[in-house]
Homo-oligomer: A and B are copies of this chain.
Amino acid sequence: MEQSRKISNAVIRRLPRYYRYLGDLLAAGITRISSKELSQRMKVTASQIRQDLNNFGGFGQQGYGYNVEYLYGEIGKILKLDKSYKMVVIGAGNIGRAIVNYANFERRGFKTKAIFDINPSLIGKKVNGIDVYSVSDLSEYLTKYPTDIVVIAVPKTCADEVAKTVISCGVKAIWNFANIDIPHPDDVIVENVHLTESLMTLVYKLNKDS
């Protein structure tokens, strides 16, 4: 079924969470769920769920509940998870290795094709079966092998330079774990995971409440 309906950004922002819950239900062998029960699990009002999921139509009849597998598939299509993505991870430290080893990404179509590092003792080795190359070969690699997503998991001192190389090679999506803001043109998407800021937010809330 072609997805042609216009779905608001606010709904789309909530989709990864629906997708996660529906995936968990499927894994637990649950094929139908009412908006009420989903609402109790997700701590969202049933009316919000009905509104959100009505965007995808064709299910959720009163008394029958939602078809979990169908809904999971439709949301996956909206999120473009029905495609596969070639990923390159830069930095074979703990964060980089966590990404490479996370089976869920692979299963969902995110295929790590290569890892790059500056540490000579890692270059030539494999992580989870994937080759670790020298960062000095990054530019050549990206030029030769079109790559959808680059993960930057290097210390902040070299993140800027790595990002410049990646962007100059035409990569359009960067998943950045370095504790810097990466300057980038408008047609490059940067999604940040800033751990330090997340921890500061936690501490701030903790002190505010206590």
Pair B187/A191 contact, Cβ less than 8 Å: no
A contact residues vs B (CB 8 Å cutoff): 12-13, 15-17, 19-20, 24, 42-43, 79-81, 85, 93-95, 97-99, 101-102, 104-105, 108, 110, 148-149, 172-173, 175, 179-181, 187, 189, 191, 193-207, 209-210
**CB-CB under 8 A for A198 and B173, given A94-B101, A98-B94, A203-B81:** no
* Chain B residues with CB below 8 A from A196, complex form: 16, 20, 104-105, 108
* Chain B residues with CB below 8 A from A205, complex form: 173, 189, 191
Q: Chain B residue with minimal CB distance to A153?
A: B98
Number of copies: 2
Chain A to chain B contacts (Cβ below 8 Å), 24 pairs: A12-B204, A13-B201, A15-B200, A15-B204, A20-B179, A42-B181, A43-B181, A80-B203, A80-B207, A81-B200, A93-B98, A94-B94, A94-B98, A102-B195, A104-B196, A148-B206, A149-B203, A172-B206, A172-B209, A173-B203, A173-B206, A189-B209, A191-B198, A193-B193
* Chain B residues with CB below 8 A from A80, complex form: 203-204, 207
Is the contact region of chain A dominated by helix, strand, or loop, or is it mixed? helix
Q: CA–CA, A101 to B128, complex, Å?
A: 21
Q: CA–CA, A28 to B152, complex, Å?
A: 23
* Chain B residues with CB below 8 A from A20, complex form: 179, 196-197
Question: Shortest beta-carbon distance, A18 to chain B, in Å?
Answer: 11
Pair B195/A201 contact, Cβ less than 8 Å: no
